Amino acid sequence: MTALSINLNKIALIRNSRVTAIPNIVDHAKMCVSAGADGITVHPRPDQRHIRAQDCFDLQSALDVELNIEGNPFTEPRASDQSHVGDYPGFVALVQAVGPAQVTLVPDNDQQLTSDHGFDLAKDGKRLEPVVRVLKDIGCRVSLFMDPEPSAMATAANLGADRIELYTESYARAHESGNFEKTLCAFQETAEAAFAARLGVNAGHDLNLSNLPDFTIPHLDEVSIGHAFTVDALRWGIANTIPRYQQALGKNL
């Protein structure tokens, strides 16, 4: 069955709107797990606009489910400009210190409001390969954030990745229009190509309760959902929202 990992970035964004520890990230992660989430995802950026480096340590020590840390593997250490926030140690150094079950490498930067494309392996493959090796050596499962391009899956596998995470915004936009079959086909073909290359398949970005039931791709190991989950949790509460997402994944609760 497909695992449901909840992304806590938007919970952290609310906290960071004031100098406060409310909402508490660990407490909300535990509420998600108690309600049935299979894992927790965070995406700490160098500017620490939402999830902070310290949150990653706190979550890893407090949770008994998989922690997935997302981020750009090429980001360097950065001093914090806020006295109450610790410095950002650089992505690889952070992951090495925390030791999450999974790390998802994403080609984002400070100018992007959110992740908006997958890796171009023809351009970044040589830089990625040693990073993938370092992260696997500390015991992390390594996933690459990728667009739905079947031809890129063998290259991802050759770099040493364990999984890919399909960037699903194009599917979400097509689903909104009501004409998503052609777009979905590209994701299905990419998932088959990933499976043939012995890669696991994750997916995430703008998946929600409306489009998730129609996201019928094969070999789907995990979905990561944050923005839509947070909006729905404001309406129904965490305890009622997690089961709705599990049911959207086809699970009988």
Q: Is the pLDDT assigned to residue 239 strictly greater than 80?
A: yes
Query: What are 162-177's pLDDT values in tens digits?
Result: 999 999 999 999 999 9
Please provide the average confidence, as pLDDT, over all residues in the chain: 94
> Model pTM?
0.94
Model confidence band, residue 109 (pLDDT cutoffs 50, 70, 90): low
Q: Is residue 42 part of a domain?
A: yes
Separation of alpha carbons 178 and 172, rounded Å: 10
Q: Is the pLDDT assigned to residue 113 strictly greater than 60?
A: no
Catalytic, out of 43, 165, 175, 222: 43
Q: Is residue 233 part of a domain?
A: yes
Q: Is residue 124 part of a domain?
A: yes
Domain span at residue 41 reads 3-248
pLDDT of residue 72: 95
- Partners of 165 in the beta sheet? 145, 202
Query: What are 48-61's pLDDT values in tens digits?
Result: 999 999 999 999 99
pLDDT of residue 155: 97
For residue 34, the domain's CATH number is 3.20.20.70
pLDDT of residue 78: 75
Separation of alpha carbons 167 and 147, rounded Å: 5
Clarify whether 70 is annotated catalytic.
Answer: yes
Q: Is residue 253 part of a domain?
A: no
For the chain, the distance separating the N- and C-terminal CA atoms, rounded to the nearest angstrom, is 13
Model confidence band, residue 111 (pLDDT cutoffs 50, 70, 90): low
How many domains does the chain divide into? 1
Catalytic, out of 70, 149, 165, 222: 70
Q: Is residue 81 part of a domain?
A: yes
Catalytic, out of 28, 50, 175, 205: 205
Q: Is the pLDDT assigned to residue 253 strictly greater than 80?
A: no
Separation of alpha carbons 46 and 102, rounded Å: 19
pLDDT of residue 3: 98
Contacts (Cβ under 8 Å, ≥6 apart) of 209: 228, 232, 244, 245, 248
Separation of alpha carbons 220 and 238, rounded Å: 24
